[in-house]
Amino acid sequence: MVAFLISSCYSERFYEGDGNLKDSGFWVIMGDRYILSLKEVDLSKNGIYEFSLENLPPNYTFTVGLAFEDSIETLRASQTKVRMELSRDGKDVISTKPMKLYDWTLSYSPGMGFNGVYAYQRGELSETALDCARGTYFVPKHRAKYRLILTVEPAAGDDIQYARLILSDAGRTSVDCA
């Protein structure tokens, strides 16, 4: 009950950190209520991008992913590798190995404010996972500070140049997380 009250009283003004958090309202039935749009990242050169995230809406499952204007076919042909790390209080929440984009889950996501492809990683839920993390999903703790790092290893000759890093909520969760 307390978790419901905390999350139902959340306002996008509470968010502190990089990017722009948009709240589409509690009445959203299909699609994502919260979308945090971070900066565009250059996938054509080696790079490490760091972001600070603080006070995300609690009790929602968020997916961290990359939004592309490229086609799924272009992404499936890509050899560029991307690694994602998310930590809270110095402990890993999400830590993926460098993976080629074609190994990520690719989907069309018109409800996320762009007409393109969203790439993310699925994973199995573990009872010992911090913040219910699996793949690139997690459930933020109330008033927690997170550090997100994206590492890019481009492949020569890839047509993919840019992507936007986006956190999108996948809905309210009732799972009690560590």
Predicted local confidence at residue 11, as pLDDT: 67
pLDDT (tens digit per residue) in 102-139 = 899 988 865 555 668 889 988 766 555 678 888 888 88
* Amino acid occupying residue 6: I
Model confidence at 1, in pLDDT bands (50, 70, 90)? Answer: very low
- pLDDT score of 136: 87
Whether 162 is in a domain gets the answer yes
The answer to whether 99 and 80 have CB atoms below 8 angstroms apart is no
Could you count the other beta carbons within 10 Å of the beta carbon of residue 84? 23
* Between 178 and 67, the higher pLDDT residue: 67
Show Cβ contacts of residue 124 under 8 Å, excluding neighbours closer than 6 positions: 134
Structural domain count, the chain: 1
Q: Average pLDDT of the chain?
A: 82
- In a domain, residue 177? The reply is no
**Quick check: is 33 in a domain?**
yes
Closest by alpha carbon to 25, among 6, 11, 5, 4? 11
Residue 80 lies in a domain: yes
Q: What is the pLDDT of residue 159?
A: 84
Q: What is the DSSP letter of 132?
A: G
In tens, the pLDDT along 137-162 reads 888 888 899 999 999 999 988 888 89
Give the C-alpha separation, 169 to 167, whole Å: 7
pTM above 0.75, yes or no: yes
The enclosing domain of 155 has a CATH number of 2.60.120.380
- Domain residues for the domain of 141 are 2-172
Residue 114 counted as domain residue: yes
Per-residue pLDDT, 165: 92
Amino acid identity of residue 28, one-letter, is: V
Residue 18 counted as domain residue? yes
Residue 32 lies in a domain: yes
Do the domain assignments include residue 178?
Answer: no
Q: Is 113 exposed, middle or buried (0-12, 13-18, 19+ CB in 10 A)?
A: middle
